[in-house]
Amino acid sequence: QKEVEQNSGPLSVPEGAIASLNCTYSDRVSQSFFWYRQYSGKSPELIMSIYSNGDKEDGRFTAQLNKASQYVSLLIRDSQPSDSATYLCAVADDYKLSFGAGTTVTVRA
C-alpha cells in the first residue's frame, strides 16, 4: 500500500492570507500527483495536477513538486472563506489513486 501523508490540521488562516499544505509520499516511482478539494459530505473536486518537478500555478493555487524529496505542496494565495474545505493529496499508482487523510483548512473572515 502506497503511503501518502499530509500535514495534520486543522489549518486556520485569516482571509487574504496564504495557506500552505504539504504532502509526502512513499513510492519513489510515482509520476502523477493531484490536489483535490472536498467540502463536507461532498465528493473530491480536482484543483490541480502536477507531473514535473517545480511549480505549477493556476489562479490563486500553486502546486510544487520535488520528486527527489518525495514531496508535493499546495499554496492557496489570497485565501477566501469559500476555500474552507478539506484538501486531499493524491498520488497515482498506475491507474489508481492513493489519497492522504486530508488537511482541513478554515479561512477566518
Partner 1 sequence: EPEVTQTPSHQVTQMGQEVILRCVPISNHLYFYWYRQILGQKVEFLVSFYNNEISEKSEIFDDQFSVERPDGSNFTLKIRSTKLEDSAMYFCASSVPGNGGNTDTQYFGPGTRLTVL
Residues that bind partner 1 (CB under 8 A): 31-32, 34, 36, 42-46, 49, 51, 88, 90, 92, 94-102
Nearest residue (CB) to partner 1, 75 versus 97: 97
What is the C-alpha separation between 68 and 27, in angstroms, rounded? 11
CB of 34 to partner 1, least distance (A): 7
Write the DSSP string, 74-103.
Answer: EEE-S--GGG-EEEEEEEEETTEEEE---E
CB of 41 to partner 1, least distance (A): 8
Residue 109 in grid coordinates: 473572515
Tell me, what DSSP letter sits at residue 53? S
Longest dimension (CA), the chain: 41
Nearest residue (CB) to partner 1, 71 versus 99: 99
Contact at 8 Å (CB) between 90 and 103?
no
CB of 13 to partner 1, least distance (A): 23
Nearest residue (CB) to partner 1, 68 versus 95: 95
Nearest residue (CB) to partner 1, 1 versus 69: 1
